[in-house]
Chain A
Amino acid sequence: MRRRISLLLISLTIMGSVFARGVYQAPMDFLAESFHGEVPESSLLLIDTSLEASVKQILGHRYESQRIRYWREEGRTAWILQEVGKTKPITVGIVVNQGKLERVKVLVFRESRGWEVRYPFFTDQFIGASLTESAELDKTIDGVTGATLSVSALTRLARLAILLHKESEK
């Protein structure tokens, strides 16, 4: 009996980890939700040499491509960005309005740990944050125990989205 209960507990733990990974929302659905059903045409932002230095300062490495797609409507921009947490990329949808974060949502989580960052109790902390002159968020983001690397990845992406938003307005 004891063995069966142990097996059940182990199975539940493994299943919990498996189900925590996955696609929480398709990027196009996130965009449709963010733009009230009407997704504007996408634009491309080229990461030139000066922007690349700022991107590198935030991410600690180059972005995975030389241009980034985004969607804009009346001062609001939406970005689908990804960054590696520990070993696999986390895909995040971010909306920036007038230089401030309006929405942050984890769309795809591929890691086996740290998935707690998908919940609004964590992502809602970013709302209203903007960038300081040293490219840091002007709000303190509380971490999540056991999800340090995912928290760090999301924070970097939030900073990056504001930077890219500002760049797209130039």
Chain B
Amino acid sequence: MHRVVLRFLFSLHRRVGVSLLIFIILLSVSGIMLNHTESFHLDERYVQQGWILKLYGIQTADPDTVYTVDEHYLFALDGDLYLDSEAIASGFGKLIGAMRIAETLFVVSDNKILLLSDNGDVLEQIDGLLLGVFGTIDGLGKSGNKLILSIEGRAQKLDIESLRLTHIEDSSRVTWARATALNDTMRDELPEQVPRHALSWERVILDLHSGRIVGGWGVWFMDLVAILLITLSLAGAILWYQRISRSKAR
């Protein structure tokens, strides 16, 4: 082969090799991670970093309904229950109400009753199914120290020890939990929340691997990287073959 061509190939191989170093590492590491998605639990872990979510156009969200109890804010977002800024329970469903009854803070969704301690620890979670209730709790109230649930619009007293529901005829003495309208002051006080399960790490690594993470041009760029990698391999193979042939000729 002509010496000028060989010199060009050698220079190309060296320059392309050095300039692709970062991308070879990136593609290899992301490829290994994707091959072992389940072992790394990438599909179960979710991105919480605002700047990555912003790349995907995922905005922070405000809760629809907020309940205030003893200077605490309680709200549900994306299936998680938050006490002030901390997510304290998942798979919570639609927040129906929160109120203190005696020493315990009760938080109720359409399918669950949570008993919280003063510092927000979850003492007990009572699934609505244990009460024979299938996503139909629509109100939380109290009458004296008794917990009252509204189930499909009917007020029922819940004995928290035996988990028995008793229908109450006169609900005029029941104090029902009322949501607080989210005003601008509260919005400022609430920590910025992001949907916790909006974006899995598997998606991010996949998009990093394909270049899609920086948009449409990223995919074309990764295509170029792939073409350069092919060029690198071919140039390497030709140079190696030339060297072998030359040493055999000697």
- Partner-B contacts on A (CB < 8 A): 23, 26-28, 41-42, 44, 64-69, 80, 82, 86-89, 91, 107-108
Contact = CB atoms under 8 A, between A and B. Distances in A.
B57 interface: no
A42 B125 contact: no
B32 interface: no
Given A26-B132, A80-B127, A65 B122 contact: yes
Contact of B124 (A28, A67, A89): A67
Interface residues of B, number: 19
Contacts of B162: 41-42
Please provide the 6 A-B residue pairs with the shortest distance between their CB atoms, ordered closest to farther.
A65-B122, A65-B124, A65-B125, A27-B130, A66-B123, A67-B124
Contacts of A86: 44
Nearest to B126: A69
A42 B159 CA distance: 12
B124 A69 contact: yes
A64 B161 contact: no
Contacts of B91: 88-89
Contacts of B125: 64-65
B123 A91 contact: no
Nearest to B115: A65
25 contacts: A23-B129, A26-B129, A26-B132, A28-B130, A28-B132, A41-B161, A41-B162, A42-B162, A42-B163, A44-B124, A64-B125, A65-B123, A65-B124, A65-B125, A66-B122, A66-B123, A67-B124, A69-B124, A69-B126, A69-B130, A80-B127, A89-B91, A91-B127, A91-B129, A108-B129
Contacts of A82: 127
A67 B122 CA distance: 9
B137 to A, nearest CB: 16
B121 A66 contact: yes
A117 B44 CA distance: 21
Contacts of B134: 23
Interface in B114-160: 115, 117, 121-127, 129-130, 132, 134
Given A66-B123, A89-B91, 5 more contacts: A27-B129, A42-B161, A65-B123, A66-B121, A66-B124
